Each structure stands twice: as C-alpha cells, then as structure tokens.
Amino acid sequence: MPTRRFVTAGLCTLAATALAPRLTARPVARPATRPRRLREGDTVGLVAPAGFIADRFGVEAILESIRAVGLVPRPAAHLAAREGYLAGDDKTRAAEFQSMFEDPSVAAVMSVRGGWGSARILPYLDFARIARNPKLFSGFSDNTALHMALAARCGFPTLHGPNASGSWHAGSWEAFRALAFDGATPTISVPVDPLVALDRGADRLRTFRGGKARGRLLGGNLTVLAALVGTPYLPDFAGAILFLEDTNESEYRIDRMLTQLALAGILGKVAGVVFGQCSNCVERQAGYGNFTVYQVMDRAFGPLGVPAFQGLSFGHVAGQACMPEGVLAEIDADAGTVRLLEPVVA
C-alpha cells in the first residue's frame, strides 16, 4: 500500500426526441483485450494532450503526487511547453501521447489536465498501433475526446477519472485504486444522507425515469462529446449506458447539446442515461429567464423510455468518482446506482 495519500488540495423537447432518428446499430462490442492492472512500482506516462502546466513547479507537484501512491512518473517533455493555450503544437502532443502507448516500459497513461485541445490531436494518432498496446488511460473533462476515440477505434476500456494535476480527494484515490489496481467491480451510488431532505441545496438523487438497464458505459463531458458528433471518433452508442457531466454551462447550452445528441440519433439508441454533476450550470445574466438544468434533463431524458437519473459524484467536483469506459454495467435509476459487472483491467 502507498505510504501517503492524495488530499483535497431552448429545451430538448418531446417533439425533438420523438423526431430524432432511432437508428438500428450493432451494440458496443465486448472488449477483446483489457489493460493490465497496475502494481506498485509501475511507470505511468504523464501527457498533456490539451492545456499546459504553468511552470516547472506545477510539474514537480504532479510528479510528487504520483510517487506518493507508489507509482513511477514519466513526464512527457512538453507538459510545461506552451503554444497559446496548448501544451505545444498538435503533432508534438499527439506524438507524445502515441509514444507512451508504444513504450513497453510504461504501464499506464494519465493526462495531467484538460482545458481544450485533445480533439485536435486525433487525426495524428495511429489507433491501430495503440490498439496493439492496450494500456489503462485515465483523465476527464477535455480528455473525453480521447476516451471516445479509443472506444471507437481501439475497443479497450479506459477510465474517466481525475487528471494527475487535480486535487485528489481521498475518495477519488480509493476509487481509482479499487478499479485500476485491484480490478474491483464496485457499485457506484448517489451519496445517501438521512438529512438531505432538510437541505434543499444538497446533492440528491433525481430520477427522470425509473427502472434498471444493462449496457456498456460510454460518455464523459457533454460539451466535448457533442462537439464530436459527425466525426469518425464517436463509438456506437446502441445499447450503451450514456454517462454525462459538465461545468460552467448555462441551462440553454445544456439544452442545446442534449438536443444535438437527440437529433443525431444518439439518445434514441442508448439503454440508459446517467448524468453526474453539472457544476455551476446556471445562467448569471441579470433578468434572464430559465428552466432549471434539472428541468432540461427531465424533458430530454424522460421521453426516451429508458432508465435515467442524475446525482452521482463524477465530473468537475472534489472527490469525484471514477467511471469506467466500455465495461458492462447495470444501472438502477430508482436507487441511483451503477453496478459494474466486469473489471476495467485484467
């Protein structure tokens, strides 16, 4: 066991959903290969596929954190490089991501941060070669573009979890360790607090449509996922459990992106929907009339006829849960749970 832990440092209408194409497509295939589980002393490649780390002190802090959990960090050369808001040019960032998968001494790959730019490197990646070297990839937010592309082109599971530069809450580390080191298949639940009924501002379960469903977990950041619609970097969502999160988006923007997924036929294909946290998703313009973000979700997901709920602690929140990509799971929208039916790692 590690000797030290990280510390916390217009609305999608029924008509739009009904008119969206409900395409018949092959369900997400069972992954033929899984990344191997991590062991203490393994080398982890640290990459910056989007934004940069501000200075060498930020890089040093990340390296210290990785060492603290018993892993050996191998930073890409350009974590603190800068080209505008990016950690170097697109081809350089792509080459560093690619090289970490092809390096046999690297056991897993972790993104140091999000921002914007991961989608820009997708055309420069050789997915056939990455598929021959399946490794656990972890990151969230803008890294959704990479999770989706790896699911579409490579087929091995990945982990939508904290970025290496984040303030890892103890709960986040414990969840990561259970999935990545132990190969556990836990049940991820909406936190239950007996006093939640007395606190209207508390996180709570919101069930848009009850029931249970099974499928492969696929998703991530709504903004990034919606921006990939129409590209060759989205997997087939037929029969999948779609999970989503977002931050700092007005209600009408969430509405617009969910409408896009509906009109593109994605929402009409899924077996269930789980929305984690939508942090600060409130329009702050004075005098601006809005539906609440939960009304937006209710109107988007309720008419789908599949189990759907909101409230799990994944997304841009402290202590975020890790959500596996591409593994079979069962959701219970009435209980607010996601039960993993198979491990992420071998």
Q: Which two tokens stand for residue 39?
A: 């062991």
Scanning 133-169, the segments in alpha helix (DSSP H) are 144-153
Distance of CA 249 to the CA centre of its chain: 17
Q: In whole angstroms, how far apart are CA 343 and each of 44, 125, 318?
A: 20, 27, 24
174 catalytic residue (yes or no): no
d(CA 277, CA 292) in angstroms, rounded, equals 14
Mark whether 316 is an active-site residue: yes
Q: Where are the alpha helices (DSSP H) in the chain?
A: 14-19, 56-68, 90-102, 127-131, 144-153, 170-180, 222-227, 251-263, 293-301
Place of tokens 């929305």: 275
Examine the residue annotation and report whether 60 is marked as an active-site residue of this protein. no
Instruction: Give the H/E segment covering residue 225.
Output: helix 222-227
Q: Which residues contact 251 (CB under 8 A, 6 or more apart)?
A: 281, 282, 283, 290, 291, 292, 293, 295, 296
d(CA 264, CA 13): 14
**Unique residue bearing structure tokens 């008419």:** 303
Task: Look up residue 333 and give its two tokens.
Answer: 């929208």
Of 111, 141, 165, 172, the catalytic one is 141
From 78, 316, 325, 330, the catalytic residue: 316
| Cα radius of gyration rounded to whole Å, the chain | 19
- For residue 279, the tally of other CB atoms under 10 A from its CB is 14
Asked if 80 and 165 touch (Cβ cutoff 8 Å), the reply is no
What amino acid occupies position 240? A
How many CA atoms lie less than 13 Å away from 271 in the CB half-sphere? 21
Do residues 71 and 43 touch, judged by C-beta distance below 8 A? yes
> Of 65, 111, 160, 245, which one is the catalytic site residue?
245
Catalytic residues: 141, 245, 316
